Chains A and B, each alone.
Chain A
Amino acid sequence: MPSESFDELLKRDALREKDGFEKRIKIRRILAGPGKIIAIPYVVEEKLIHGDFEPTGEHGQDEAGRGEGEVGSVVAEIPIWGDEGEGDIDSESDSNAGDGEGSHGIETEAYQLGKELSEKLKLPNLKDKVKKVPTDEYIYDLTDRHKGSGQLLDKKETLKSIIKSNKILDRLDENNPDMTNLVVGPQDKVYRVLSRERIWKSQAVVFFLRDYSGSMIGYPTRAIISQHLMLYSWLLFQYEKLVIPRFIVHDTVAKEVSVDNYFKVASGGGTLIPSAYKLINQIVEEENLTRDYNIYVFQGTDGDDSDEGELAVPEIEIILSYVNLMGVSLLGTPYNEGRETEFEKYIKIGRFIERNNIFRMHKMSYRNPSDKENEEAIKALVTSG
């Protein structure tokens, strides 16, 4: 057992500041499957160690490989962000993500994070606009495996079991396997079990929207991902886990994507922000979301836009007519530092800032933001000024 509970560890960490040292416990959010995130605490022990990046490229830039191919040929491609264990999407999130195995309790952790954030940052509590609706749903419980009977045949496990049995029975010639000769016993069939559970239908829909054009590469994207994960946690806490997240990315064209893609997909094109607003309005209208749901829109952008407000302002007006809150993180990039962006210009034109109860914007400069700065950003977005 650890000698101290997590609460005690957090208290100890808080005491560090009193003693003249910086806090050391940090929280990292990692993607743990579609729509699911967890928060994990970690401590980096600071030591005098060698760094990774050297401009000479002489140390540690290359890695080992094995297989066929000519020198110069490409053997694999990886998305420009994600997969690297850097930033807020940890590499641990990639293994098994989406397999569903062992997915219990994930949102509990995100919920806990939301609770902690609420308390830590003194974030406001929200009011429901509509009543909750109970519903029965099938929960696909992957940890229960039954031999012999069940609802869903686990083909991989069944095949393994058949091979094992036939091997024991000496019916499988390794050098010349004959699949037609295999016997299949009832106990070889492995099933997974579906169980009926009553759950409460989600009461909030939150649209996460980010610019994935070329200018957003690097710190801005990482900052948005971090902030959006925290906002999702906060809403999970606020709505007792009853939150449906929807993810939208845009360059000149907007599209709805899976959570996985939201955190990884990259484009290289220009930017047309209103395309995303239009898509959100379309979804809200077609699915009649305003009737049953509290709606939130959180946007991450560098403010770069080919529209000067003619298209965006009317769409934002529509969004503000139904949302509980729209929060925009405006990220600094090397291209927009020190100047007013198109986005800021038309936000002024629409006088949206004055509608502080439903529209908020937070601007950050171009650099790798710390956890604290990201927390400050979400505080600015969800706390009425």
Chain B
Amino acid sequence: MELISQKTKEIMEECKKRALSAGLSFKGESLEYIVTNQGFLELSPKVMIPTLYDFWADDVEIVRNKWLYNVYPHNPYETVINTRPPMSFYNDNNPDWLNVMIFYHVLGHIDFFQNNVFFRNTWNDDFCGQALADKRLINRIREEMGDKKRWVDYVIEFARGIDNLVGYYGELGEDDKSVSGNVLGTLSERIRFYFGEFLKNHYESKTVPIKFYYDEISRLNLSQEQFGQKVGEEVFFDDPFLKSKFPEFKNAFEKKDKKNKLKPKDILQYLVENSDFINKDENKWMKDILGIVRRTSLYFQPQIRTKNSHEGWASLWHERLFVADPRIKSHEVGFALTNSKVVVDPPGGIGLNPYIGFKRLYEFIEGMAMKGKLSAEYQLLEDAEARKNFDKKLGEDAGKNTLLEIRKNLNDSMLVNFLSDDDFQDFVDKHNLFVAGRRLNPDKLVIEIYIKSRSGREYRKMLNDSLYHPPSILINEDKSREGELYLDHVFEGRTLVTEYIPAVLMGLSYLAGNTISLETTEFDIEREERENLLFDPEYTPYYKRFRVRYTCKDKVIEKTMLSADEIGG
């Protein structure tokens, strides 16, 4: 791995100037490295972070990549990582014109990393440096463990079994509170608790009428208008009437506040804080491992949740910037060829390539903004002809500003759900999109892919279903017995991969040093019913749904049925 040549760096710097003047925004230096194909194969299991800690499963993937590469050699174009400064990796055999195109794509990614609010927890640190420190720490622990060093890898493995359940939004929320506290500055925790929980409970238990709730809001507003925000709040809670009516409020709030502050945001953090086993002197090294695994996972969470928008955004900008760049002269064919392999629908038009699918979505929203269609006036229009001809001619700047704003504030899910149903239908119609279903043709013994729907709602639902959504698994202290860790899978219509459950519970049980229970939902469906579903996807099968509990105690897994429903048919 070496830095790109001075000549290539000049190309990048010219790209940066043009990208900045076009409206993208990124700060400081960037590092560009030349990496061989073999180097790419070795970096990819480490999600391209060269300093990430070593783990044997990643090594197996490197071997796999190399063996596969022998059969299917390929040249990756680029990879960029969200570090400070941002680092990107390139092949050494790209011609200059291709580098211009690739650099623009990379700058699109860097702009997204540095401006999309879902990355804000990564803005203040250099993860590459952090990962290096973590890697050294793990290596030191391995050295200290001597012959038992493989147990370090077992602990990494157990922790990685639940690293997709890290409290990303909880962490983001913490940050939100401190940021929005300054911006909005209206609701303190005490006010939130008083109106959001305390009075609500009283109202529900019919000890106060709804009128009292509204009167209290008026009293707070008056108090804050008169004395300002902070003092007004103090005056409001110092009110003798409130104190005499609810003498328990102060204690209730303090208790709640303390509990909130202490509440772990995910299972990994819970284990670090509460596992007697991990907190034994001889096992305290495990806390470091769990912390590293958790930190690493948190770093990647925004990337997982924006991967489609990211690629759509970078593709949009590499096209626009390169086509307008004089350096494309005489390389139009090369660009067209390369671009048509990247920004292209999958073969047969089946499947979603975010490079083009999400680029189209950005462009569609931009087009609407230019015509003033992202307005109440347009949204209230019902006449199809009037909607079609609506054009306030707000110009390119309005389009670009909207693009930059949605890049700043939306992740994949929010982008998919940004447009109204009518507008999304227009998007689906414009690009000839459809929801594709699969069914078995018993005569030809083939699986047919057919056009199931051209409805915008259905298409959006399909997109939503395809987005990243880890299961919601919560710690349920109320159900916990004798120190066990009781996990409750909140069933959102999707079951867990049951074959993985025993291994994960076994690992968690080791880390907790205690019994682990996991409550989840499963289905049982007859083979015949499955086959009916295969032949006709619209068929309503008969099946049983169970609420079950897996328990891992002393390395033994037991499954208990808690309840059962019979559905469909």
Residue numbers in B under 8 Å from A4 (CB-CB): 56, 59
The reply to whether B543 and A55 form a contact with Cβ atoms under 8 Å apart is yes
Please determine whether A73 and B450 come into contact, CB atoms closer than 8 angstroms.
yes
- B436:A62 contact, CB within 8 angstroms: yes
Within 8 A of A (CB), among B462-503: 462-463, 465-466, 469-471, 473, 489, 493-501, 503
Q: Are A47 and B161 in contact (CB under 8 A)?
A: yes
A-B contact count (CB 8 A): 242
User: Which residues from chain A contact B555 at a C-beta distance below 8 Å?
Assistant: 20
Residue of A nearest to B455 (CB): A71
Query: In the complex, which residues of chain A have a beta carbon less than 8 angstroms from the beta carbon of B473?
Result: 48
Question: Cβ of A65 and Cβ of B436 under 8 Å apart?
Answer: yes
Which chain B residues (422-467) contact chain A, with CB distance < 8 Å?
431-438, 440-454, 458-459, 462-463, 465-466
Asked if B71 contacts A63 (CB within 8 A), the reply is: no
Shortest distance from the beta carbon of A51 to any chain B beta carbon, whole Å: 5
CB closest residue in chain B, given A63: B436
Residues of chain B within 8 A (CB-CB) of A334 are: 527
A65, B164: Cβ atoms closer than 8 Å:
no
Given the known inter-chain contacts A19-B150, A48-B165, please indicate yes or no for A75 contacting B436, CB distance below 8 A.
yes
- The smallest beta-carbon distance between A263 and chain B, in angstroms, is 15
Contact B446 A64 (CB under 8 A): no
Question: Taking the complex as formed, is B564 at the interface, i.e. its CB lies under 8 A from any CB of chain A?
Answer: no
Q: Please tell me which one of the listed residues B333, B442, B451 contacts residue A71 in the complex, with CB atoms under 8 A apart.
A: B451
Contact B150–A62 (Cβ < 8 Å): no
The digit string for B320-364, where 1 denotes a CB below 8 A from any CB of A, is 000000000010111001000000010011111000010000000
Instruction: Give chain A nearest CB distance to B486 CB in angstroms.
Output: 14
Closest-by-CB residue of B relative to A52 is B497
- A60 is contacted by which of B57, B161, B441, B466 (Cβ under 8 Å)? B466
Contact in complex: B71, A49 (CB < 8 Å):
no
A61, B61: Cβ atoms closer than 8 Å: no
Task: Give Cα distance in the complex from A3 to B163, angstroms.
Answer: 23
For window 108-167 of B, CB contacts with A under 8 Å fall at 150, 153-154, 157, 160-165
Tell me whether A133 is interfacial, beta carbon within 8 Å.
no
Main secondary structure of the interface of A (DSSP, over half): loop
In the bound complex, residues from chain B placing their C-beta under 8 Å from that of A22 are 503
Pick the residue among A19, A74, A75, A79 that contacts B154 (CB under 8 A): A19
Residues of A near B165 (CB, < 8 A) are 48
The answer to whether B462 touches A63 (Cβ under 8 A) is yes
With A6-B63, A62-B452 known as contacts, the answer to whether A56 contacts B493 (CB < 8 A) is: yes
Least Cβ–Cβ distance between A346 and chain B, in angstroms? 28
A105: interface (CB < 8 Å): yes
Q: Smallest Cβ distance from A255 to chain B, in angstroms?
A: 16
Which residue in chain A gives the minimum CB-CB distance to B466? Answer: A60
Q: Is the CB of A55 within 8 A of B60?
A: no
- A66-B433 in contact given A1-B42, A50-B494, A50-B495 (Cβ < 8 Å): yes
Q: Please, how many angstroms separate the alpha-carbon atoms of A2 and B59 in the complex?
A: 5
Q: Which of B62, B163, B462, B503 contacts A64 (CB 8 A)?
A: B462
B64-76 vs A, Cβ < 8 Å mask (1 yes, 0 no): 1001101111000
- With A22-B503, A66-B345 known as contacts, the answer to whether A59 contacts B525 (CB < 8 A) is no
Measured CB to CB, the closest approach of chain A to B388, in angstroms, equals 21
Nearest-neighbour CB distance to chain B for A167, whole angstroms, equals: 5
The reply to whether A45 and B494 contact each other, CB–CB distance below 8 Å, is no
A21 to B509: give the CA distance in the assembly, Å.
13
> Could you say which of A24, A47, A75, A77 contacts B349, with CB atoms under 8 Å apart?
A75
Q: In whole angstroms, what is the CA distance A324 to B359 when docked?
A: 60
Bound together, the chains give a CA A174 to CA B330 distance in angstroms of: 12
Q: Which 7 A-B pairs have the closest CB atoms?
A: A65-B436, A2-B59, A46-B500, A64-B352, A67-B349, A76-B449, A46-B503
8 A–B contact pairs at CB < 8 A? A3-B56, A19-B150, A45-B161, A47-B500, A59-B494, A75-B350, A77-B441, A214-B445
A-side residues, CB < 8 A to B, are 1-4, 6, 9, 12, 15, 19-22, 24-25, 32-33, 38-43, 45-51, 54-80, 92, 95-96, 101-106, 109, 160, 163-164, 167-168, 174, 214, 266-268, 334
